[in-house]
């Protein structure tokens, strides 16, 4: 992908007010640390992260995204009514529907013939949104478009801390470590065709993409069934025992319980007994990351993508003056830069 008409007009961001240090999180996890004989300070030592930000409780995602969007507009000569495409690209969304972009567009006063929709692709969403807007501009379909995002880590971190305190195992600690690095924030990227009389814009010259979808299970954030909540919602203890006796053989019980606890679906024999409207109350968020595998396979994919990008752009590695690395963890960042042959300094 190469572009000749696309300008990055401005970038706006909103930083949440609540500072949460790695020491703060570790103090809450001390019972797990003591059980596993983990010395305090490991979270920062392993990730290089001293602090992250959280929104106040009850913060609305579209409010954060709209605030960042206004900041981007204020730095430009573009008005809200000039925006012909608005894409919300966060992992976190307000609802399954409507698109969170609709709530942002309503706050900004985006005109009704603009393209307004969400793109969801984990931490690559903003980049995908930029490419989507850039393609529209390059094809002369629009003059200006905006990508917005707002993420919140407070809720999932709180949930995982609670789970870690209940399951004080090294496996749980290892698979939850990446979750504890997550922070919150909002951002907006304004792209135009360069016709808005702003001499401070930077041209977007091109991009490359590669994927390795076979590794899609290495980092997962979603919802799963809470077996305790499920049991409480469905049955009293006496009724539960009677129902189990009716629908399954005694020797089948361990397998079914295991299925409820480890999968994202209810066995049909039990699902038929539970009113569907109660199902959401039995669901809870989870996040699990195989950090070692993510680093190993991510570095390989990064090298492949970097090579593709340099080839498409006709650049040599030593012509690149500045690199902004996605990885928040210090170890991951240093590893990928080393693999790419880039000096972190």
Cite the active site residues. Answer: 97, 123
Q: What span, in angstroms and rounded, lies between the C-alpha atoms of 105 and 109?
A: 6
Q: What is the DSSP code string of 97-123?
A: SS-HHHHHHHHHT--TTSEEEE--BTB
Q: Is the peptide bond before 98 cis (omega within 30 degrees of 0)?
A: yes
Q: What span, in angstroms and rounded, lies between the C-alpha atoms of 36 and 13?
A: 39
Q: What span, in angstroms and rounded, lies between the C-alpha atoms of 13 and 69?
A: 8
Contact 52, 188 (CB under 8 A): no
SS (H, E, C) 301-325: HHHHHHHHHHHHHCCCHHHCCCCCC
User: CB-based burial of residue 47 (10 Å sphere; 0-12 exposed, 13-18 middle, 19+ buried)?
Assistant: buried
């Amino acid at each position: 992908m190469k572009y000749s008409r696309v300008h990055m007009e401005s970038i706006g961001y909103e930083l949440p007010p609540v500072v949460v240090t790695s020491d703060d999180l570790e103090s809450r996890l001390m019972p797990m640390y003591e059980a596993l004989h983990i010395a305090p300070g490991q979270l920062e030592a392993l990730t290089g992260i001293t602090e992250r930000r959280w929104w106040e409780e009850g913060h609305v995602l579209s409010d954060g995204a709209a605030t960042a969007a206004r900041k981007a507009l204020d730095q430009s000569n573009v008005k809200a009514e000039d925006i012909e495409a608005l894409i919300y690209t966060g992992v976190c969304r307000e609802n399954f529907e409507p698109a969170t972009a609709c709530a942002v567009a309503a706050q900004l006063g985006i005109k009704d013939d603009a393209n307004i929709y969400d793109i969801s692709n984990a931490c690559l969403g903003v980049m995908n949104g930029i490419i989507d807007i850039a393609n529209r501009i390059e094809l002369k379909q629009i003059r200006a478009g905006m990508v917005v995002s707002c993420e919140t880590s407070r809720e999932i971190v709180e949930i995982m801390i609670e789970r870690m305190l209940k399951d004080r195992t090294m496996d749980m600690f290892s698979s939850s470590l990446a979750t504890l690095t997550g922070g919150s924030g909002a951002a907006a990227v304004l792209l135009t065709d360069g016709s808005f009389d702003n001499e401070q814009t930077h041209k977007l010259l091109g991009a490359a993409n590669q994927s390795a979808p076979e590794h899609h299970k290495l980092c997962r954030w979603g919802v799963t069934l809470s077996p305790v909540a499920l049991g409480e919602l469905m049955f009293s203890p006496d009724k539960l025992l009677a129902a189990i006796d009716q629908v399954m053989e005694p020797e089948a019980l361990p397998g079914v319980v295991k299925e409820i606890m480890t999968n994202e679906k209810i066995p049909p024999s039990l699902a038929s007994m539970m009113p569907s409207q109660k199902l959401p109350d039995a669901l809870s968020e989870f996040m699990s990351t195989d950090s070692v595998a993510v680093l190993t396979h991510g570095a390989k994919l990064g090298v492949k993508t970097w090579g593709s990008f340099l080839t498409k752009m006709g650049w040599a590695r030593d012509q690149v003056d500045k690199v902004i690395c996605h990885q928040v963890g210090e170890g991951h960042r240093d590893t990928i830069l080393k693999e790419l042959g880039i000096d972190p300094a």
